[in-house]
Amino acid sequence: METKKPTRGLRLKEVCNRTGISRATVYELIARGQFPAPRKMGVTSIWLESELDSYLESLPTAQGGPK
């Protein structure tokens, strides 16, 4: 039986580092419904690592790049 690891909360800086997109683009994609929305933790917003991982896994892979 596989056990799930607990999900972590990620701050915006780490989300930008992991995705390679800017803060402005993160919020633009959220407004379009194309990016996981943050969760409020008091005055701080966090993204669930599991949701960010799922988003990244759903992206198409580059085809035909240099070999």
Question: What are the structure tokens assigned to 11, written together?
Answer: 């701050």
pTM of the model: 0.78
Here the tokens at position 3 are 């056990």
Q: DSSP of 50-63, one letter per residue?
A: HHHHHHHHHSPPP-
Q: pLDDT-derived band of residue 60, with 50, 70 and 90 as boundaries?
A: confident
The domain ranges of the chain are: 9-56
Looking at residue 61, its pLDDT comes to 78
Quick one: average pLDDT of 12-20?
A: 97
